[in-house]
Structure 1
């Protein structure tokens, strides 16, 4: 890929879909797994639009389900590139559901997918840089850096922790766990 730059707006993608009974779970709400599938699709579209090449999902950094989505609501997902690495992109996605009878809208989900640009052999490719034009775009970029730093810190802490059984016997004191040996 070239070293050119693109604006956030150049790669933004919006999709809308009516939620059908076939998308629901046993509780009559839209199944979270179905929403995750749509999120992955829009993240792919946004990342591929920015990079101009095929992209794969490297990680799903955050998925916050804030409000349930009802059958019959119109779900709109808005995706944009929030951060650019060498071959990776963080795609921020906002999910809103609209009651098409009343017009009432609610924020249902916020998600961050890390996507990586690949060539036909699976080799990672450099992606275009990002032109930030608004305070919101700068804020999203900075928050992505902070999320990345926190993720690296959690990973390091987890890998450094040695789970020696005897050191964790105090968990028996918790009300919701029972250790049987």
Structure 2
């Protein structure tokens, strides 16, 4: 772990962009892929600012589009480092859209990008630690740590070579599926 620790606000990034017709999908709402692209950009900026290195996206968790974004709205994205590991960081991103005529602001999305710090040779390198100054920063750090642990446990539980189908067949009874699988020959 790096001997350097930083306050979260030192790496926070805020971007805003007016949504144009060229950003819309077939239903006239802003295309989700465009919003994801902006989110990846702000995650990169925040992680790179924190680590002082080039960063790459390792994973994206929990992308829920809560409210549609309309053409003409001002989108504001706020990014913070919520968690640091040895070479990785979890960047929390909040997306809001403001109707510039009424001033009404709606929460459109919150998401978590795991970014990895790289050196000029493409090797993962340690990142500075965090100084947690508030209850919300502690809550976000612990929540991210828990999410990472749960993700690792889930991956292990459903690994192809250790998955035991008979332990999970009852779960399928409450879902909209027909199990036609007859077992291995």
Q: Does 1:144 align with 2:148?
A: no
SS of 2:156's partner is helix
Assess, with a 3 A threshold, how the Cα gap between structure 1 residues 131 and 174 changes in structure 2: closer, same or farther: closer
Shift of 1:162: 4.5
Q: Where in structure 2 are there 5+ consecutive unaligned residues?
A: none
Query: TM-score with structure 2 length normalisation?
Result: 0.88
Shift of 1:107: 0.3
Distance in 2 of aligned mates of 1:3 and 1:95: 32
User: For this pair of structures, how many residues does the alignment match?
Assistant: 179
In the TM superposition, structure 1's runs of 4+ consecutive aligned residues that sit over 2 Å from their partners are 170-181
SS of 1:103's partner is coil
Aligned equivalent of 2:30? 30
Q: Where in structure 1 are there 5+ consecutive unaligned residues?
A: none
SS of 1:65's partner is coil
Q: Does 1:115 align with 2:110?
A: no
RMSD of equivalent CA atoms? 2.3
SS of 2:62's partner is strand
Distance in 2 of aligned mates of 1:90 and 1:172: 36
Distance in 2 of aligned mates of 1:173 and 1:60: 29
- Matches for 1:124-139 after TM superposition, within 5 Å: 124-139=124-139
Distance in 2 of aligned mates of 1:13 and 1:134: 18
Aligned equivalent of 1:55? 55
Q: Summarize deviations over 1:51-93 as a string: whole Å, max 9, x none.
A: 0000000111221211111111000000000001000000000
Distance in 2 of aligned mates of 1:37 and 1:163: 38
